[in-house]
Each structure stands twice: as C-alpha cells, then as structure tokens.
Chains A and B, each alone.
Chain A
Amino acid sequence: MKILMILGKLSLGLLLIMTVSGVSSGEVSMPEIPKAKNNFSAEQSCVEPIDLMRREHGLLLKHYRHDTMRRGIRTSEYSLIACVNCHVTADESGNYPTVHHGSDHFCRSCHTYAAVNIDCFQCHTSKPQESFSSDMEPVQSD
C-alpha cells in the first residue's frame, strides 16, 4: 500500500511539473482553418448554424451515419462526402492536403489543436471526389 501511495504522489508531482513546463514553453497557436468552398444557402454558411456545427458535428456525423448505413437514408446535405467536398480545399499546385498529423487539412488542423483523435479517415477518403457528382444525386422518385 505504501509503495502505491508513494508512486501516486510521484506521478502527481510529475504531472504538475509537466503542466507547468507546458505553460512555460509557450501556447499552442490557433490553427489556420481553410475556408469552405461554398455557402450552404444565402442565409446560412453551413448545413446547420456554425456554432452548432463546431460543437456538435461529431454527434451529427454519428447520427447520420446510422441513418445512412443501417436505414439507407442518403441525403445530399448531411453526408461526410459532402463535408469533405466542400471543406477540403486544394493548395496552389492543385494538390489536396493529407489528413496526417501536421497537415492543414480542414479536419486535421482543428483536431490537432483540440488534441482529439480523428478516426473517420482510416476508412473514409479525406479528399474530395472528382468525377462522381451529377449521376449520384439523390433520386426523387415520387
């Protein structure tokens, strides 16, 4: 038990030192987040109000992924493909940024700043689709 307590105190001390040194080494700079290509509508820049999107986009993605995957609901506005198509922009030479650490990819730049893991792009592509739009618009059959 004693050993455990000592260990506990030691780790607490270490944590303190790390926190203090983190602060002293300067603050993390704000990410430069690339601007989206289009506005969703004249009144609204994204599919939902910006503050909601900033806070809840993870939940929204999770909700709509269930709808799409399990129930076959494919809307044009709520889809990860649409997010990527609009938000991931090419650099001057026409190349899209990777989603790896240190990149200025739309999702990555902010997730690095917030120190939150981003798993979507292990499976989903992080680049906009190039030649797949017109024939895959949702069908309005009634």
Chain B
Amino acid sequence: MNVSTQNRRDFLKKSAAITVAPGVLLYSVSPKAHHAEKPVTSETRWGMLIDTNKCVDNCTACLDACVEEHGLTEDVPVEIKPVWIRKVTVRDKQTGRETFLPLMCQHCENPPCVDVCPTGASFKRADGIVLVDRHTCIGCRYCMMACPYKARSFVHEALENQKPHSPRGKGTVESCNFCVYRIDHGMGPACIEACEAEGHEAMIYGDMNDPESEISKKLKEMSSSVLRPDLKLNPGIRYQGL
C-alpha cells in the first residue's frame, strides 16, 4: 500500500502543498457574498446600522433608490401607494431638535408578521431577512396589522412591467426585502448604495454575527438603539443618535 509506506513528514509536505496554494481563495472576492448556489444559513444575520446624525433634511436618495430598484412606480392614489421605506421626522418637543430617519421593515428576529400569517407566506429566511412569499400570500393583510412599524404595503391594482429581479403583483403584501437578490449576489441594498453616492454615508449593512464585520465593530463601539425595544422583537435595523 502506498499510503501506509508514506511517512508522516512526506504526507504533511504534500498536503501542505495542496492546501496552502488555494488557501488564498479563503479570502473570497467579497466577504459578504454567500455562495449563490448554496442555501443561506443562520451563521449570518444581516443587519443595518443607520446613523441619524448623518441623515439630512430634504434628502430622499434612499427612498428614490428603493422606488427605482423595485419599480414601485405605479400610478395609483396616494392612499394605496406602496411604501417600502419612508422618512420619519422625530421632533423633541422640549428642545425642538429634529431627527430624520429612514424607516423600513426592521427584519426582526421575532417578527410578528410571521407569527400571524395564516399561510406561512410571511417568513424569515435563515439569514434573518424577513420576506413575503407571494406564491402563498392570500392578501389577508394580518401581517400589515401586526407590524408595529407599519412597514408593509398591499398591492391593490394589477401591475405590469415589473422589474425582473423584484416580482410583485395584485392581491399580495410586500415590504422591504433587504434587496435580497442583491445580497445573494454579494451587493448591498439599493438604499445604502444611494446614501453613499449622495455622500451622506448614513447607512451601513453587514453580518451582525460576524465579529469582524464593520457593522459588528461599530455596534460594539458605539451606542445604538432599536425602535420599540419594549416589544422585544430584536430588529435587524439599528439606529444611532436617536
């Protein structure tokens, strides 16, 4: 037998030659990308950190990017317009200080929308992204009522010319999907890209389970808060400066 005659040193030398060379590949092209052909796992938890001090008045870059990215452009009355992300102004009555923050699906760890969904259409992916599976959504809108952040919209009218990567249609509920197809291809959400392009850099995203990620480091370093912590939903979207 060849293997048995091989001494330990030779064996180690050979295996080192095999593993060290491709070892460079351990540093993947983009550390954020998961292998698109493999299922996502709970080793990753996607999250976002929004610095409200950097979010400015009169800027709608993230909102516009969302509308453009997902084709939320249908011509419908304002009451039924889809809103995946909106800008909220918080005003301190005492001091008059105004804070602006983008508000979208908070991608909770314990999402109430998933609890109430009667068909299992509203679900949380293993990597923490909360989605609506429109194939099974019956449009009952319980999730819209359950969401404390008012993050979900309902499509009332038949649509045409949807974006290929962001299917949406009449009779189903929808909300921010963390630009999940972009995430799966190693890119960030469109709103964050737009905020960066505008030079505000108020939003970052990353894997909150990875202690080496930018978001984890910042969260450890600086104080941040979640919206409605009393509900114990542990949202994936965190805010600084609130």
Which residues of A pack against B, CB within 8 Å?
65, 67, 69-75, 81, 84, 122-125, 127-129, 132, 135-142
Contact = CB atoms under 8 A, between A and B. Distances in A.
A132 B165 contact: yes
B218 interface: no
Interface of B: 25-26, 28-30, 33-40, 123, 125-127, 131, 133-135, 158-159, 161-165, 167-170, 172, 180-182, 184-187
A81 B163 CA distance: 10
Contacts of B29: 139, 141
Contact of A139 (B25, B133, B168, B185): B185
B180 A139 contact: no
Please classify the interface of chain B as helix (H, G, I), strand (E, B), loop, or mixed, using the class held by over half of its residues.
loop
B170 A139 contact: no
B134 A123 contact: yes
Given A73-B37, A138-B36, A139-B186, 14 more contacts: A65-B135, A69-B131, A73-B36, A74-B184, A122-B169, A123-B169, A125-B167, A129-B165, A137-B185, A141-B29, A141-B33, A141-B34, A142-B26, A142-B35
A102 to B, nearest CB: 16
27 contacts: A65-B135, A69-B131, A69-B133, A69-B135, A70-B123, A70-B125, A70-B133, A72-B36, A72-B39, A72-B127, A73-B37, A73-B38, A74-B181, A74-B184, A122-B159, A122-B169, A124-B164, A129-B165, A135-B187, A136-B182, A139-B36, A139-B185, A140-B36, A141-B33, A141-B34, A141-B186, A142-B35
